[in-house]
Amino acid sequence: MCFSLLGLYLTFMTGVERTGNRLLCNIVGSLIHFVCLASVFWMSAEATNLLMVKVFNADVHRFMFKASVVCWGLPGLIVITNSLASPASLSTCS
């Protein structure tokens, strides 16, 4: 989760003013969308892990590997699907 939040902060701080070039603006918009979704997915994974360990006393085999695949893969799939379905929705570049 720390890497996704760090990516969100760095992408936003370095790319928020990059609206002159349409391609660069779309890339920055997609990256912000990806890392924001990844942050939410990681928060959900941590809450699920806490619930499983503390409440149900269950230990999921290789939980972090499974969480990594889901928390980095699903946001990527969502952003790719969104960019292919509606490229104009990536950003509001001028």
pLDDT for position 59? 83
Q: What is the mean pLDDT of the chain?
A: 89
Residue 27 has pLDDT above 80, yes or no: yes
Give the integer Cα–Cα distance in Å for 9 and 6.
5
Q: Is residue 79 within 8 Å of 37, Cβ to Cβ?
A: yes
Q: Is residue 31 within 8 Å of 61, Cβ to Cβ?
A: no
Span 31-57, mean pLDDT?
93
At 46-76, the pLDDT tens digits run 999 999 988 888 888 899 999 999 999 999 9
Q: Is residue 56 within 8 Å of 7, Cβ to Cβ?
A: no
pLDDT interval class at 29 (50, 70, 90): confident
pLDDT for position 91? 64
Residue 88 has pLDDT above 80, yes or no: no
Instruction: Give the Å distances, CA to CA, from 57 to 49, 51, 67.
Output: 10, 9, 18
pLDDT for position 42? 95
